[in-house]
Structure 1
Amino acid sequence: MAERPTTIWREGLAEEAEELAAGTLDPECACMAELFPEDLLTATDAVLDTFETELRCLAEADDAQIFGVVERVVLALNAVNEAHNGSTYETDERELLCDYIDRSLTEHGVDIVALTAPGPTWTRPVPDHG
């Protein structure tokens, strides 16, 4: 399963805390707690929880439904970013979030390349249940 960016950020927070406790990191160089406060991580996880719930319903979704799921997660993440001064998700964070969304969609059977290609609408084959 795709690794959530919040997991990566929490691991960075824990590593920084260990380095501070061991005295191997100058407190003036510590920035993870400021960059990734718990309320940001919790809000981001709530958005990703909803996204993951919606992914489970994509088995027979058409392109418009898939794009709707993607649009909702992106808009919700934008709202979290705005609620945290509009600069919380910088380039690296956005890349991690986009990669997570792409990997999650792929894991649920969505062909991202085909979905976003110009031309006729792509549809996934209907699973054979018999």
Structure 2
Amino acid sequence: MAERPTESWRQDMAEEAEEIAAGTMDPECACMVGLYPEALLTAMDAVLDEFEGALPGLGAAADETVLAVVERVVLALNAVNEAHEGAAFQTDEREELCGYIDLSLTEHGVDVVALTARHGLGRYQLTDKWRKW
């Protein structure tokens, strides 16, 4: 099952906190809490809950239905990013989110390669039409 980016981000935060507590990391070098504030993680999880709820049955759905689900999640992520002054997602986070969307669709029976090809897109362009992050 595709791992939510927020799960790995929380794990990274916990590991960093453990290193600080163990004295193996200078607190001045810590960055995870600043990168992933709880308000961001909570908003992201709400978006991803909705996305995951729309996944069952998509493997047999029309392209338009699948693309509508992708559009909704991307627009919701745009809103999260805007609420965090356009700085919620850096390159790594963008790649994780796009990979998560792709893998989640694939795990639910969507042939992402065929879907994007039918619409004149490369596989990794699935979110580009709506994505502002």
User: RMSD of the alignment, in Å?
Assistant: 1.4
Within 5 Å, which residues of 2 pair with 1:1-12? Answer: 1-12=1-12
Distance 1:119 1:71 in 2: 14
Distance 1:55 1:62 in 2: 13
Which whole-Å deviations, capped at 9, do the CAs of 1:11-56 have from their partners, x for residues lacking one? 0000000011011111110010011011100100100000000111
Distance 2:114 2:106 in 1: 11
SS in 2 for 1:117: helix
Aligned to 1:124: none
Within 5 Å, which residues of 2 pair with 1:65-80? Answer: 65-80=65-80
Number of residue pairs matched? Answer: 120
Larger Cα-atom Rg = 1
Distance of aligned partners of 1:32 and 1:70 in 2 relative to their CA distance in 1, 3 Å threshold = same
Gaps (5+ residues) in structure 1? 121-130
Within 5 Å, which residues of 2 pair with 1:80-95? Answer: 80-95=80-95
Shift of 1:119: 6.8
Tell me which stretches of 4 or more aligned residues in structure 1 moved more than 4 Å.
none
Distance of aligned partners of 1:105 and 1:23 in 2 relative to their CA distance in 1, 3 Å threshold = same
Shift of 1:86: 0.5
Which whole-Å deviations, capped at 9, do the CAs of 1:46-69 have from their partners, x for residues lacking one? 000000001114243100010000
SS in 1 for 2:58: coil
Contact persistence 2:59–2:111 (CA under 8 A)? no
Distance of aligned partners of 1:104 and 1:83 in 2 relative to their CA distance in 1, 3 Å threshold = same
Determine if the alignment matches structure 1 residue 23 to structure 2 residue 17: no
Distance 2:25 2:9 in 1: 18
Contact persistence 2:6–2:44 (CA under 8 A)? yes
Which whole-Å deviations, capped at 9, do the CAs of 1:76-119 have from their partners, x for residues lacking one? 01110110110110110010000000000000000011001147
Distance 2:27 2:63 in 1: 49
Distance 1:9 1:47 in 2: 16
How many percent identity over aligned positions? 69
Distance 1:18 1:30 in 2: 11
